[in-house]
């Protein structure tokens, strides 16, 4: 069983997945910072200076704090502003991944076109050129 486990871990797909998860986690931190530190303040300024992250509804009468962190300490809250921020995080991340995949697909098509063009422009091998020349000479020979 240990050998099977080693073979499973050594497969390229598992390693690729592990690298993807690690990079995805780090990239998620970048997107979270982009949304929290750059985009949401701009959105907040456009809508009158409010901060989405502090939009909540207390689910008990004991919750009367002005900030989400303080309200959570007082009791249960429905943090819809935080949810809006998470949705924006997701949309930005999905858009960036879409653009990355679109770019990779564009590069692949470009490489395929270049390879195809190089194959079309490349001179034929010497034996093929010789056979083509013989064929052409035989075709020009008058019929007997």
* Same domain membership, residue 128 and residue 76: yes
3-state secondary structure of 136: helix
The C-alpha atoms of residue 68 and residue 54 are separated, in whole angstroms, by 5
Q: What is the pLDDT along the chain (144 residues), one digit of tens a residue?
A: 888 887 777 776 777 788 888 888 888 888 788 877 887 778 777 777 666 777 888 888 888 888 888 888 998 988 888 888 778 878 887 888 788 889 989 999 999 998 888 877 878 888 988 999 999 998 888 766
Same domain, 122 and 64: yes
* Model confidence pLDDT, tens digit, residues 28-59: 888 788 877 887 778 777 777 666 777 888 88
Q: φ, ψ for residue 57 (rounded to 5)?
A: -125, 125
> 79 and 90 in one domain?
yes
The H-assigned helical ranges of 12-144 are 12-33, 40-46, 68-74, 80-121, 126-140
Residues 55 and 104 in one domain: yes
Entry pTM: 0.55
């Amino acid at each position: 069983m240990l050998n099977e486990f080693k073979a499973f871990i050594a497969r390229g797909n598992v390693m690729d997945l592990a690298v993807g998860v690690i990079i995805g986690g780090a990239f998620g931190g970048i997107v979270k910072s982009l949304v929290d530190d750059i985009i949401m303040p701009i959105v907040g300024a456009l809508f009158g200076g409010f901060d989405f992250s502090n939009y909540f509804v207390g689910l008990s009468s004991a919750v009367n704090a002005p900030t989400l962190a303080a309200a959570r300490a007082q009791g249960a809250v429905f943090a819809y502003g935080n949810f809006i921020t998470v949705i924006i995080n997701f949309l930005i991340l999905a858009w960036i991944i879409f653009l990355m995949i679109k770019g990779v697909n564009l590069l692949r098509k470009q490489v395929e076109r270049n390879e195809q063009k190089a194959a079309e422009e490349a001179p034929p091998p010497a034996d093929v050129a010789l056979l083509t020349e013989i064929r052409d000479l035989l075709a020009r020979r008058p019929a007997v």
